[in-house]
């Protein structure tokens, strides 16, 4: 991670490790259910920002949602980099293509 004010790509594994280092003991004590409730609160704040927030407010809420998602992954011991690679590394889980060709009516 860079110093405050510097911008760069953040690797998911590095971000997950950073969140673990900063908050793991508190997160573990709260547990997955309590942490999930915090994630849902942040998703609600993101929804509000998407409706009527500034670009800065939206960016902040996206970051918060990602941080709480990473937090839950830490609590339940899931490596998100591995999970993302396993599920999406070979293309769309539905059609297997890197440009999704799935029917728009279904997931994804």
Digitized pLDDT (tens) for each residue of the chain, 108 residues in all? 555 566 678 999 999 999 999 999 999 999 999 999 999 999 999 999 999 999 999 999 999 999 999 999 999 999 999 999 999 999 999 999 999 999 988 776
Domain count of the fold of the chain: 1
- Contact in structure between 65 and 41 (CB atoms under 8 Å): no
Q: Is residue 2 part of a domain?
A: no
d(CA 79, CA 44): 25
What is the pTM (predicted TM-score) of this model?
0.85
d(CA 11, CA 57): 22
Q: Is residue 96 part of a domain?
A: no
Q: What is the structure's pLDDT at 106? A: 72
Domain extent at residue 26: 12-77
d(CA 82, CA 85): 5
Q: In CATH, what number is assigned to the domain containing residue 41?
A: 1.10.287.1080
């Amino acid at each position: 991670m860079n110093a405050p004010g510097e911008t760069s790509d953040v690797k998911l594994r590095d971000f997950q490790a950073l969140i673990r280092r900063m908050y793991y003991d508190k997160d573990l004590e709260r547990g997955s259910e309590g942490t999930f409730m915090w994630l849902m609160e942040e998703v609600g704040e993101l929804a509000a920002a998407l409706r009527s927030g500034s670009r800065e407010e939206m960016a902040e809420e996206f970051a918060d949602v990602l941080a709480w998602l990473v937090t839950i992954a830490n609590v339940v011991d899931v490596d998100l980099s591995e999970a993302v690679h396993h599920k999406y590394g070979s293309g769309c889980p539905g059609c297997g293509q890197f440009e999704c060709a799935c029917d728009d009516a279904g997931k994804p």
